[in-house]
Amino acid sequence: MEPATTGRAPVPRPVATFTARDTDLGTLTRALTGPVAGPVTLHGIPGVGKTQLTRVWAHQHADSYGIAWQARAADPLTAVADLAQLADRLDVAPNTDQETAAAAVVEALSGRQGWLLVFDDASPDAVRLLLPHRGGHVVLTSRSPNSAPVAATQKVGLFAPQPAAAFLDPHHVLPTDAAVRLAERLGYLPLALEQARAYCAATGRSLDGYLADYRQTAAAATRQLQCGHHSTCRYALRRCALDQVRRSARERHQLARQRRSPHQSQFL
């Protein structure tokens, strides 16, 4: 978890390649700043970009907050521990246990203005007692729209086909056929697109070459896992990345051996 800050940098910075979410950002702005503003849950499947959307919005509105904090909230213990660390910054509940400190943070935030609290990957049990009642803004990211009963909900969906292809192929005015094919095969999932783009940039692999690798890995995953398309997609991406790490490690090892023994006969 990143530490809380005042002023300029409220939450961790988003990835530099963030794109194609202007409508979602506008919807979140209206939900948080409208006349009946309250907690907002951004929900969607894993890898769709909920956390990145929250980070971008927070940085765009950094001047509106004096205090901001991001807490991991997949389980109650982690959420309490992360929120309790804010107690020192707020100068409340010194030298107490984490539960007492977290409760003091919630009470302190409820009595002041100008703060942003983000619960990332939130579960209902984790955040049930950790939501301040007033004074600032709360954003939750979750797979479920029911992570917080009092929150408004906003679904974060997949990329549209054209922006997805354009994201994979930023050097062309119009996406190439290879980018269109790969974006479709990756299900327009933002995380999958980001990893494919980064992989090709780092290795020099073409989009068609990556698609061939992905198809082979995804076919094996489908036979082994018998799961849905996007679960298969995430598994295949991890395998592709792992294969690249192994290839890079072998290449570095071979290069190191050559440097250690530049005159050694190839027949020894």
Using a pLDDT cut of 90, give the percent of the chain over it: 53
Residue with tokens 């890898």: 47
User: CB neighbours of 148 closer than 8 A, spacing ≥ 6?
Assistant: 39, 41, 119, 122, 124, 127, 128, 131, 138, 140
Mean pLDDT score across all residues of the chain: 82
Averaged pLDDT, 87-103: 92
- pTM of the predicted model over 0.85: no
What are the residue ranges spanned by the domains of the chain?
A: 22-155, 161-260
Q: Please report which confidence band the pLDDT of residue 101 belongs to, taking 50, 70 and 90 as the band edges.
A: very high
pLDDT digits (tens, 9 = 90+) for 197-233: 998 998 899 999 999 988 888 766 655 545 555 555 5
Q: Are 71 and 62 in contact (CB under 8 A)?
A: no
Flag whether pLDDT at 3 surpasses 50.
no
User: CB neighbours of 166 closer than 8 A, spacing ≥ 6?
Assistant: 175, 179
Would you state the pLDDT for residue 244?
Answer: 55
Q: Please report which confidence band the pLDDT of residue 54 belongs to, taking 50, 70 and 90 as the band edges.
A: very high
Q: Please report which confidence band the pLDDT of residue 1 belongs to, taking 50, 70 and 90 as the band edges.
A: very low
Would you state the pLDDT for residue 15?
Answer: 84
CATH, domain range 22-155: 3.40.50.300
Q: Are 57 and 30 in contact (CB under 8 A)?
A: no
Would you state the pLDDT for residue 265?
Answer: 30
Would you state the pLDDT for residue 68?
Answer: 85
Would you state the pLDDT for residue 57?
Answer: 94
pLDDT digits (tens, 9 = 90+) for 161-203: 999 999 999 888 889 999 999 999 999 999 999 999 998 998 8
DSSP state of 148: S
d(CA 11, CA 205): 33
Averaged pLDDT, 2-23: 67
Most confident of 42-46, 88-92, 216-220: 42-46
**Tokens of residue 21, six digits:** 């979410």
Q: Please report which confidence band the pLDDT of residue 248 belongs to, taking 50, 70 and 90 as the band edges.
A: low
Q: For residue 212, report the phi and psi dihedrals to the nearest 5 degrees.
A: -65, -45
Q: Please report which confidence band the pLDDT of residue 243 belongs to, taking 50, 70 and 90 as the band edges.
A: low
